[in-house]
Structure formats: C-alpha cells, structure tokens
Amino acid sequence: MRVFVLAGSSRSGSVNRQLASYVAGLVTQAGPAVDLAHLADFPMPAYDGDAEAGQGPPPAAAALRDRIEAAQALVIASPEYNASVPGVLKNAVDWVSRFRPQPFKDKQTLLVSASPSMVGGNRGLWALRVPLEHLGARVYPDMFSLAGAHHAFTEQGGLADAGLAQRLTETVDAFLDLVEADTRYLCLQRR
Ligand code: FNR
C-alpha cells in the first residue's frame, strides 16, 4: 500500500510541512510506503479556463495528479487562511479535478491541519472537505488539528505533547486500517 502525504503550504518553515513529515513517519511505522510532498513541488498558475482550453492543465497539475493516482490513500496537511482553505491549495484541487478519470474520485483521504492559533486550523479542514467530497473523495470522518503548532514540535520533529501524539497515531492507524480493508475488498471484487 502506498500513501501520498501532501503539505498544503509552500512555505519553507511551514508548520503543516512539519506535521506532514510527522504523519509520514507514522505511516511508515505502520507499514505502508510513503510519498511525501508539499505544494511548492507543484508550482501552477491560477486556474484559467482559456489557458486550459489552449494548452490544457499545466505540467505541475499533471505531476500532482500522477502522485495522487499512484497512491491508495491521500493525507493532506493544510493551513487555515481566514477561516477557510488556502487559495493555493484550492487552486491545485481545481486544476487536478479537470483530469479524466477524475483523480480524487473514491480516494481515501485523511485531513490534518496545524496552526499557531488555538483551534489548530480546523475550520480550514471543514472548508477543504467540501470540494473533496464533491469530487467523490472518501474523506475520513475524523480529522486532526494541531493548535499552538509553532511550539508543538520538538527539535527532532516529534510532538512534544504525548497525549496529542497518541491521538494522532490512533487516528492515522485507524485510517490506514480502513484503507487496507478497502484495498483488499477492491482486489477481491476484481477477481
Ligand atoms: C493566516 N493564519 C490563520 N491561522 C488560523 O488559525 N486561522 C486563520 O483564519 C488564519 N488566517 C490566515 C490568513 C492568511 C492570509 C495567512 C497568511 C495566515 C495563520 C496561519 O495559520 C499561519 O501563518 C500558519 O503558519 C500557516 O501554515 P504554514 O504555512 O506554517 O503551514
């Protein structure tokens, strides 16, 4: 099984990149292969219907599509901007949604967020659920939001709070159990 973990921020010092790396480590511990990336790996222009009609989606959108398609599951670590999903991440979702077959369809997806604020970016995740569920992604009901994220990580990249670390591990493990059961079911169906 392969899991694609995407940090929805381009910033080099991003707390969501830290969270994505931490989650990637949990996934590796649990067994599946991990592909870790962040939005800066996929620089793309703002969606433009004329550009799409002329040249099609940009190469970075195709590259992101390929990485999503190559995995059985997707984890997105997203910042919250103005109580919603950051425009750059929504833009990436919009471009990728233009491919056929539509890459988010039936994709098992876990959403996590990190923010220096007290709510940890949770409102952004609720906003991100809307387009993903619209596109047919199977967005895991439980989400994880890391509050006070600028002080939450140790120098080694671990989570300083043992209780939070345990909750995140349990969330990731439960999500991976579901993905594994789903993958097994699909294999049986194809026989
Ligand atoms: C923010 N930030 C923010 N944080 C939050 O918890 N709720 C919010 O509504 C917002 N709004 C917001 C808008 C804009 C335009 C910016 C630039 C920032 C702060 C944000 O959580 C913080 O910058 C994080 O560090 C961003 O995540 P990364 O890039 O560190 O992963």
The ipTM value here is 0.99
User: In angstroms, rounded to a whole number, what is the distance separating the alpha carbons of residues 76 and 182?
Assistant: 19
The yes-or-no verdict on residue 49 having pLDDT over 90 is yes
Instruction: Report the pLDDT averaged over residues 19-43.
Output: 98
The yes-or-no verdict on residue 117 having pLDDT over 90 is yes
Closest C-alpha to 27, from 168, 186, 183, 182 = 168
Give me the pLDDT at residue 79, please: 98
Residues in contact with ligand 1 (CB, 6 Å cut-off): 9, 11, 14-16, 79-83, 115-117, 121
User: In angstroms, rounded to a whole number, what is the distance separating the alpha carbons of residues 63 and 42?
Assistant: 7
Instruction: Report the pLDDT averaged over residues 114-130.
Output: 98
Closest C-alpha to 42, from 88, 74, 86 = 88
- Is residue 140 within 8 Å of 175, Cβ to Cβ? yes
Any idea what the CATH number is for the domain that residue 175 is in?
A: 3.40.50.360
How much is the mean pLDDT over the chain?
A: 97
Instruction: Report the pLDDT averaged over residues 104-121.
Output: 98
Query: For a pLDDT cut of 70, what percent of the chain falls above it?
Result: 100
Confidence band, pLDDT 50/70/90 cuts, at residue 184: confident
Domain that holds residue 185: 2-190
Query: Total domain count for the chain?
Result: 1
Q: Give the pair of three-digit tokens for residue 191.
A: 């026989």
Give me the pLDDT at residue 191, please: 79
Give me the pLDDT at residue 114, please: 98
Distance 108 CA to ligand 1 centre (A): 26
